[in-house]
Amino acid sequence: MAAAAVARLTAATTCRMRVSGPVTAATTSAASPVTVTLGDLPQQKRSAATATTTTSSGGSPVVVEKRAAAATAAEEEEVEEAAAVAALASAWREVQGAGDWRGMVEPLHPLLRDEVVVRYGELVAACYRAFDLDPASKRYLNCKHGKKQMLPAVGMAGAGYTVTRYIYAAPDVALPFGVGGRCSCAGKSRWIGYVAVASNREAARLGRRDILVSFRGTVTGSEWLANFMSALSPARFDPADPRPDVRVESGFLSLYTSDDLSGKFTCGSCRNQLLSEVTRLIDKYKHDDVSITLAGHSMGSSLAILLGYDLAELGLNRGGRGGAIPITVFSFGGPRVGNLEFKRRCDELGVKVLRVANARDPVTRMPGVVLNEAAARVFRVELPWSKACYTHVGVEVALDFFKASHAACVHDLDAYINHLLDGGAAASATTTTLESWRWQMAAIRAGEWLQTLGI
């Protein structure tokens, strides 16, 4: 079924590369110009276009031919777009990972790249654009806009989604070694993302009603501290079956589950806000085909994976019109979240994760720079400390880009999106600039060893 769906998607996206005869993907891309002549057009349309142009302008045959070709090229583009939309609507489960994206990742399928990865990347980037970083503002460290205005205000009025709720998170962190007590910003909730649902028109285009949760990455000081709390803690999301061997990073868990009862905009933990709103939307659209899409950058991708696991572990995605509602996570520059048992449980529950990762991005190697997948097994034999090893979840879309003049771009979300749009060509880097990353990675390794030793 997955192979047939990929074939349909390929046919839809390559139809724009065929006019009068077959053209292979190796010679022409979706962005390549297509030459159209009058001989390629249906006779009826050709005659009408030629007659109209000749009588109105009296121009030369060359002008007539160009105008007719331009008009027909626009019609061809509309047909191609309709074909791509039809393919997306008919194969949306495969696009959401039902077949683990087999045949769609290497190379990255154009429809998966444009309609899914880049599109959801932009919906995550909207969180950064709407986040208020002006200390003089009344909305400092919160969203600058109301729910109805947020997407239009950041240039995404045509995204096809309606924001239904803002989400806030409050990490419960303390400074290391007890210095200065608790962090001054710990326990204070900050705007972390939003929940949105596809409009009727967008639902028809996608082939289902998409419930979207979008998370930004690390910005505040307390969030940075949470990122470095790399000790593994049991998730215990299901009280009836706590599964103590399923462990996740304690900092991400704190951000996801901590309450802020004094918050101006909040009502409970990030977890409670999300479970309440997502279940409300599931119930509201119970007669539709529904998908749950969770997207995030950096720390936000960790929250997206935790939410996906939480929904599936509690069974809140069961009972959809067509059975279990698919849960898909699109992660951009995301770190590892949990141990090997966490990965196994996500796989058992059917939580699909597509990780877009830059090979030069150090965040994608953390936590678990030392204790990771490579240290968990020897010749497929699990070692005694495997439960303490971090493991990535899902399927990876590997990128490779670096700019010597702007080293921080390796983790920048806009750089990720632009690189996907450019086709994923590898970028070069100078040896001198790469040396600056080596001491940083060494420091991270030393820190993890200290945490492992309990220091």
422 an active-site residue? no
pLDDT tens digit sequence for 359-400: 999 999 999 888 888 777 776 777 777 788 999 999 999 999
E strands in 217-265: 232-234, 247-249
378 strand-pairing partners: 381
Cα–Cα nearest to 340, from 298, 303, 375 = 375
- Residues 324-356, buried b or exposed e (16+ Cβ, 10 A)? ebbbbbbbbbbbbbbbbbbbebbeebebbbbbb
Q: For the whole prediction, is pTM greater than 0.75?
A: yes
Contact 165, 277 (CB under 8 A): yes
The C-alpha torsion from 118 through 120 and 123 to 124, rounded to 10°, is: -100
Identified catalytic residue from 222, 269, 298, 331: 298
Identified catalytic residue from 210, 260, 289, 361: 361
Contact 145, 130 (CB under 8 A): yes
Going from the N-terminus, what domains does the chain have, and what CATH number goes with each?
A: 67-122+160-425 (3.40.50.1820)
E strands in 116-267: 161-169, 190-198, 209-215, 232-234, 247-249
Each residue's pLDDT expressed in tens, for the chain with a length of 455 residues: 556 655 655 555 544 333 334 333 333 333 333 333 323 333 333 334 434 444 444 556 666 666 677 767 767 666 766 666 777 888 899 999 999 999 999 889 988 898 888 999 999 999 999 999 999 999 999 999 999 999 999 999 999 999 999 999 987 665 554 444 444 445 578 999 999 999 999 999 999 999 999 999 998 888 888 878 888 999 999 999 999 999 999 999 999 998 876 666 667 899 999 999 999 999 999 999 999 999 999 999 999 999 999 999 999 999 778 789 999 999 999 999 999 999 999 999 999 999 999 999 999 999 988 888 877 777 677 777 778 899 999 999 999 988 766 777 899 999 999 999 887 544 333 333 333 444 444 454 455 545 544 44
- Could you give phi then psi for residue 242, rounded to 5 degrees? -65, -25
**CA–CA distance, 402 with 135 (Å, rounded to integer):** 32
ω into residue 107 within 30 of 0, thus cis? Answer: yes
310 an active-site residue? no
The C-alpha torsion from 175 through 180 and 183 to 184, rounded to 10°, is: -170
Cα–Cα nearest to 325, from 354, 286, 275, 280 = 286
Q: What integer pLDDT is reported at residue 408 of this predicted model?
A: 76
Q: Which helix (H) or strand (E) holds 427?
A: none
Q: What integer pLDDT is reported at residue 13 of this predicted model?
A: 53
pLDDT tens digit sequence for 20-44: 343 333 333 333 333 333 233 333 3
Q: What integer pLDDT is reported at residue 349 of this predicted model?
A: 97
Cα 75 to chain center, whole Å? 32
Amino acid, single-letter form, for residue 424: G
298 an active-site residue? yes
Both structure tokens of 376: 């968990």
**CA–CA distance, 49 with 46 (Å, rounded to integer):** 5
